[in-house]
Structure 1
């Protein structure tokens, strides 16, 4: 770990270059570098082909980011979350020099996590209404790098996961078409209907008719609000109840499928195995041993 304070013509910065354990590098989302800077003069920073993901927040001033051939104008309270394998550059504006707090991190599953973030509507640049939450995570990670805890990398991992969770939560609000309060209420009622009527046959047409909502809007907006398409949520609900019955009842596998709205035994077994990775009978045996 290198804790460096840098005073120069361009920036005043404080950074920690961190070296995680071999275990953390191979198994965990791990810290590479964390720091903050105050620009002293206009300047540009350029990077590409870094095995890293970058989060930073503009704490004062303004500037811009160029990422994947698109330019984003940045103001105080704006957050950046990007894949540094791609070329990027950022620069402070000349008449409103910025200050930043940043975190570089990586992990064996980070590419998939970032793809999930983007698929949920997450943008490289967005304005946060939760600046304090990001500041707390930054402070906690910065403090942990100087701790003597034998589980330091695990604690840093926990905080990085909190950062990613916060980013995922905010990604839902970046491009979500669901803005009307009554429509959100309608979707919540549909979710609750599925939670209590999963044993019955449920179709998009039926939900659309019962709740007076366009089924194409329902398809798109249910996923935006709850993270899963309607049918996937229905399957998840049925499988969850099937798992409970497999563990805590003596009903046959076929009967459990029927109790959970999947009357065809082969279909039930196929859906269960696709979701859980094992057949219903294997699941029961494993958890009842």
Structure 2
């Protein structure tokens, strides 16, 4: 099978390979799907440049070095580097002339690709050093090997592997952010307190006094660290407890509301409607054993 590197045949080793896929209509509508996946080992420097491409790209540098220019910023890449980008944004990547690189990559789209990317981009630079290089390499290699075939089973398993790859990337940046974040211990204390007292009346004034932080600083830092507001977090905890009681107890709505911090059934129903699209009573009926 051709490897589709014919534009620069003298630049790469014969072990290089590329697989291009056209997803089925169902895969395009329901799955993450592969557009292209490949492995490249260069003999000499090479530039790849694109823009306005409806694709997301994950590249892992297996050896060698080079650069990525993305959204007007230059990033230096080395063995172990990874980058995750939206290919609608102009970019190019170029291998070093003295240390040509070895890459494995996947172009993909579909499902919630945009949402995954937006979360990643909000929390990380496009290029970074993944903590679990070996697992990421294994997943990308498995995806490339899998796409030697083109059938529905390949699409199903490719979607699973893309989720695995994205999960590794998001977990990596989340753990890195937590380790580097200077206020993590204080925010951990705040969250622990809320977990233990979410059924009680919530007061930002009382919380800021308890932890010796201004209301603005406390609200901003909690949202930065956990990705949700203090109020949203408390409501989520209350709703989760209410769901358990609605399903597995004989308590009335009023009793559940008071026990979870909603104080009356009307407020409980409003919060359920906002979160679940149905009232607490409807939730109980639908999930009744």
Same fold (TM over 0.5): yes
Question: So what's the TM-score if we normalise by structure 1?
Answer: 0.88
Equivalent of 1:72 in 75, 87, 102: 75
For normalisation by structure 2, the TM-score amounts to: 0.88
Counterpart of 2:3 in structure 1 is 4
Tell me: CA distance 1:93–1:178, structure 2 relative to 1, closer, same or farther (3 Å): closer
Q: Does 1:60 align with 2:55?
A: no
Query: Are residues 1:98 and 2:101 paired?
Result: yes
Partner of 1:95: helix, strand, or coil? coil
Quote the offset at 1:174 in angstroms: 5.6
The answer for unaligned runs of 5 or more in structure 2 is none
Distance of aligned partners of 1:71 and 1:174 in 2 relative to their CA distance in 1, 3 Å threshold = farther
Instruction: Give the Cα separation in 2 of the matches to 1:264 and 1:99.
Output: 62
CA-CA distance at 1:192 after TM superposition:
2.5
In 1, Cα distance between equivalents of 2:105 and 2:284? 47
SS in 1 for 2:235: helix
Count of residue pairs brought into register by the alignment: 285
Per the alignment, do residues 133 and 203 of structure 1 end up closer, same or farther by CA in structure 2, a change over 3 Å counting? farther
CA distance 1:63–1:148, shift in 2 (3 Å): closer
Distance 1:268 1:159, change over 3 A: same
Paired residues of 2:46 and 2:94 also in contact (CA < 8 A) = yes
**TM-aligned CA distance change 1:137 to 1:3, over 3 Å:** farther
Give structure 1 stretches of 5+ with no counterpart.
none
- How far apart, CA to CA, are the structure 2 residues paired with 1:288 and 1:97? 62
The answer on whether the counterparts of 1:178 and 1:224 sit within 8 Å (CA) in structure 2 is no
- The alpha-carbon deviation at position 44 of structure 1 amounts to 1.1
CA contact (8 A) 1:18 1:33 kept: yes
